[in-house]
Amino acid sequence: MSRLVAGIGELVTNDASLGDGPLGLLSDAALVVVDGTVVWVGPEAAAPDADTRIAVGGRAVLPGFVDSHAHLVFAGDRAGEFEARMSGARYDGGGIGTTVAATRAASDGELRDRLRGLVAEMRRQGTTTVEVKSGYGLTVEDEVRSLRLAAEVTAETTFLGAHVVPAEYRGRSDKYVDLVTGPMLAACAPHARWADVFCEPGSAHAFDGDQARAVLEAGRAAGLGLRVHANQLTAGPGVRLAVELDAASADHCTHLGAADVDALAGGTTVATLLPGVEFSTRSPYPDARRLLDAGVTVALATDCNPGSCFTSSMAFCIALAVREMRMTPAEAVWAATAGGATALRRTDVGRLVPGARADLAVIDAPSYRHLAYRPGVPLVRALELPA
């Protein structure tokens, strides 16, 4: 069964060979989908015949957002912590322990309902691929449970046993790293595609460069791809470690020195910026222009989590990137789609080209620019193609 999606006022393909500029823009466009895969893209006037036709009334269509960094398996609420930060309290990662206690105490059903609710909330806002991390269990059983649940909603599952040192290991962080790199990794690796670590010598709760290296090297030896929470609170070793170990992504990148930017520019590690975190922790934003001008591949993601940033809206992150980080609307939209796909080393999402997944998002507006131009307005949603 072939489906023609027609009446697309502006189509973002993210393929410069198909249309104008880096977004590969086409106007008055159409595309044909067969079995969930894009098989044809072009001007509507040249569209081939198809079995059925859906018209989107001149709206803009883009690839569904690829949210490459999210923590969605958790219980509890930290609105009070957010409120305290807005009155001057500092974020240091310590609140993660509050969520760990609530998550351990929750039933599978409670965690699953929360997780599915958040994934549905994302989809209603145009996100069609999401990475989901563990990291609020921090025992072998609770990390495996988190990853099993995550795998019910996405193929992009990330083992983050090294999120913080849990209370029962306080003062014995090396012993906890032994657990993470040993039995916990062995039990979790079958359920994960990626390994991640919160590398932050500036936090009393997170992991230093040597510990992060141990976690990442063990993850790689277990067959997992690598991602790093890097340089969020201070200019630590995380970014350079990520590039050295060819991690797919270094995430946060808020505090960078020249050596960090040079390293990113010389490697294939994507810099994933999470401006919702700076918004929600009242912190200075990362210098996106410096990264882009150095030729670094930049992605945008939500970091949706109950502590440092509880938004599920990629459109909000795009608006922040444009307003606060001086990315152009086109750069921000690319980063939230093709950039996120690159950060997950995926070529089947983030682009609307023949052979890609037919993950479409539609904007109730004539252009992608409205995502930043109309902040806070729920304009974008995943386009559900009837089965």
Interface contacts to ligand NIG, rule CB under 6 A? 71, 93, 95-96, 99, 198, 229, 232, 277, 303, 305-308
**CB of 132 vs ligand NIG, minimal distance in Å:** 13
**CB of 69 vs Fe ion, minimal distance in Å:** 6
User: Judging by DSSP bridges, how do beta strands 298-300 and 360-363 pair with one another?
Assistant: unpaired
Query: Candidates 151-159, 161-169, 302-310, 331-339 — which segment interacts with Fe ion by CB under 5 A?
Result: 302-310
Q: Where are the beta strands (DSSP E) in the chain?
A: 2-12, 25-34, 37-43, 52-55, 60-63, 65-67, 127-130, 132-133, 157-162, 194-199, 225-230, 249-252, 270-273, 298-300, 360-363, 380-382
User: Cα separation of 303 and 162, whole Å?
Assistant: 16
Contact 63, 360 (CB under 8 A): yes
Please tell me whether residue 303 binds Fe ion under the rule CB under 5 A.
yes
Query: Candidates 17-25, 261-269, 299-307, 332-340 — which segment interacts with Fe ion by CB under 5 A?
Result: 299-307
User: For residues 131 and 260, which CB has a smaller minimum distance to ligand NIG in the complex?
Assistant: 131
Residue carrying the six token digits 């040249």: 46
User: For residues 13 and 312, which CB has a smaller minimum distance to ligand NIG in the complex?
Assistant: 312
Q: Which does residue 276 bind out of Fe ion, ligand NIG, none, counting CB within 5 to 8 angstroms by kind?
A: none
Of 269, 281, 284, residue with least CA distance to 308 = 281
User: For residues 136 and 334, which CB has a smaller minimum distance to Fe ion in the complex?
Assistant: 136
User: For residues 126 and 306, which CB has a smaller minimum distance to Fe ion in the complex?
Assistant: 306
**CB of 365 vs ligand NIG, minimal distance in Å:** 30
Of 86, 90, 126, 64, residue with least CA distance to 360 = 64
User: Cα separation of 29 and 221, whole Å?
Assistant: 46
Please tell me whether residue 359 binds Fe ion under the rule CB under 5 A.
no
Please tell me whether residue 143 binds Fe ion under the rule CB under 5 A.
no
Query: Candidates 100-108, 303-311, 337-345, 374-382 — which segment interacts with Fe ion by CB under 5 A?
Result: 303-311
Tokens of 22: 């880096």
User: For residues 310 and 368, which CB has a smaller minimum distance to ligand NIG in the complex?
Assistant: 310
Query: Candidates 121-129, 199-207, 278-286, 298-306 — which segment interacts with Fe ion by CB under 5 A?
Result: 298-306
Contact 10, 25 (CB under 8 A): yes
User: Cα separation of 90 and 187, whole Å?
Assistant: 35
Of 11, 12, 14, residue with least CA distance to 341 = 14
**CB of 279 vs ligand NIG, minimal distance in Å:** 12
User: For residues 71 and 123, which CB has a smaller minimum distance to Fe ion in the complex?
Assistant: 71
User: For residues 125 and 272, which CB has a smaller minimum distance to ligand NIG in the complex?
Assistant: 272
Contact residues for Fe ion, defined by CB under 5 A: 303
